[in-house]
Amino acid sequence: MTIPDYLTELLETYWFAPPVALWRAVELRAAAAEEYEAPVLDLGCGDGLVAQVLFGTEGQVDVGVDPWPAQLRRAARLGAYRHVDLADGHRLPYANLTFATIISNSVLEHIPDVLPVLHEVQRVLMPGGRFIFTVPSDAFRYFLDGYIRRKERGDMQGAEAYAAAVDARLEHYHYYSPSDWRHMLASVGMEMTEARYYVPEEVERLWDRMNNRYGIGRRWSAWGLLVSHRLRSLGYQDSLRRTLVRNLSRRWQPYYEMDVPPGEKGGGLLVVARKKE
Ligand SMILES: C[S@@+](CC[C@H](N)C(=O)[O-])C[C@H]1O[C@@H](n2cnc3c(N)ncnc32)[C@H](O)[C@@H]1O
C-alpha cells in the first residue's frame, strides 16, 4: 500500500517547527487508516490544520469544536469544516445522538479530568457511533531520548525530572494505557474496539532530540529567531523553508514510514471506541 506523504505536506506547514511536522505526520498516517462516517465532529479541532490535511478543504468535516477562540477563528477560515463552535468538551452544545463519528487528535491528554468529556462524547454519538482519538501513550515518557540517556547513565532522578519538564512544557496531564482507556470508556457505556500504538521508540527519540535542537518550547533559541516573523522582511525565509523541506522530507522519510514492531509499544496511541447499540 502506498503511504501518503503527510511528512512533506506538514513540513511545508510547520517548517518553522520541524519536529511538530514529524510527530503530526506519523499521527496522521495512523488516523488515515480509519473510516469516518458522517456526520463527523472534530473535538478540540484547534486551528483545523490536521483535519484539513486528513479530509481536505471541501468541508468534509461537519463540525469543529474548540474552547480556544483564536484557534477556532483559524479553523473557520480553512474550509475543512461546514461549521465551527466555541465550546468545551465538558459541555458540548449538541443534542443527544447527533454524530456518527467523533474524532479528537491530541486533545484528551490536555484535559485533567477526561471522564466528563467521555460522557459528553457518549451522549452526542448515535448508537453504534465511533469515537476515534489519538493521545500520547503510556510509553511516551520512557521513549524520550533525554529520559533514556539519563536512565542509561543510572541517573533516574534526572530522567524523571527531564520527563516532568516535557510534561509541563506540553501541558500533558496523563498517559493512560489501552487497559485504562478500556475501563474508562466502558464506565460511560462505550466499548473500546481497537487500540493501536504508533511512533516507534526510535522515532520518538529523534523527535525529542530535534525538539532540543530546534529549541521548540524554549523562550529563546537561535532557530526561533531565524524563523521569527520579525525577520521576515529580510527575505531569506522562503529559501530557508524550501531547503529545510527538501532536506528533512528526505532524511526523515525512513522514520516517517517506520511501524511499531508487533507486540511493542509506541509513543502515540490511537483508540477506537463504539457506543453500545
Ligand atoms: C494540541 S491541540 C490539538 C488541536 C487539533 N486537534 C490538532 O490535531 O491540530 C489541543 C487542542 O485541545 C483543545 N482543548 C483543550 N482543552 C479542551 C477541552 N476541555 N475541550 C475541548 N478542547 C480542548 C485546545 O484548545 C487545543 O486546540
> What single string gives the DSSP state of each residue in 104-121?
EES-GGG-S--HHHHHHH
How many A from CA of 154 to the centre of ligand 1?
Answer: 36
pLDDT band at 130 (very low <50, low <70, confident <90, very high): very high
Per-residue pLDDT at 226: 86
The answer to whether 190 and 272 have CB atoms below 8 angstroms apart is no
Pocket test for ligand 1, best of 26, 66, 86 (most atoms within 8 A of CB): 66
Q: What is the pTM of this model?
A: 0.95
- Across-strand partners of 191? 274
Q: What are phi and psi of 236, to 5 degrees?
A: -90, -10
Q: What is the mean pLDDT of residues 38-63?
A: 92
Q: What is the mean pLDDT of residues 140-152?
A: 98
Smallest CA-to-CA distance from 125 within 190, 183, 33 is with 190
- 39 prior amide bond cis, ω within 30: yes
Reply yes or no on whether the pLDDT at 59 is more than 80: no
Instruction: Give the contacts of 64 (CB within 8 A, at least 6 positions apart).
Output: 41, 42, 45, 48, 51, 72, 75, 76, 80, 81, 83, 84, 85
The reply to whether ligand 1 has any atom less than 6 angstroms from the CB of 8 is no
The reply to whether ligand 1 has any atom less than 6 angstroms from the CB of 46 is yes
Q: What is the mean pLDDT of residues 21-33?
A: 96
Smallest CA-to-CA distance from 192 within 273, 260, 267, 123 is with 273
**How far apart are alpha carbons 10 and 18 in whole angstroms?**
9
Alpha helices in 252-277 (DSSP H): 253-256
Greater pLDDT, 57 or 88: 88
Reply yes or no on whether the pLDDT at 235 is more than 90: no
**Helix pair 6-13, 237-251: axis angle to 10 deg:** 150
Alpha helices in 36-68 (DSSP H): 49-55
Q: What is the mean pLDDT of residues 126-139?
A: 98
Q: What is the position in ligand 1's atom list of the atom closest to the CA of 67?
A: 25
Smallest CA-to-CA distance from 129 within 193, 196, 178 is with 193
The reply to whether ligand 1 has any atom less than 6 angstroms from the CB of 145 is no
pLDDT averaged over every residue in the chain: 95
Pocket test for ligand 1, best of 107, 113, 131 (most atoms within 8 A of CB): 107
Per-residue pLDDT at 179: 98
The rounded percent of the chain whose pLDDT value lies above 70 is: 100
Reply yes or no on whether the pLDDT at 1 is more than 70: no
Q: What is the mean pLDDT of residues 203-210?
A: 98
Q: What is the mean pLDDT of residues 32-39?
A: 95
Per-residue pLDDT at 92: 98
Reply yes or no on whether the pLDDT at 212 is more than 70: yes
The reply to whether ligand 1 has any atom less than 6 angstroms from the CB of 103 is no
Q: What is the mean pLDDT of residues 145-169?
A: 98
Q: Ligand 1, atom 26: nearest CA belongs to which residue?
A: 46
Q: Please state, as a whole number, how many other Cβ atoms lie within 10 Å of the Cβ of residue 74.
A: 16
Residue 238 burial (10 A CB sphere; 0-12, 13-18, 19+): exposed
- Across-strand partners of 172? none
End-to-end CA distance of the chain: 33
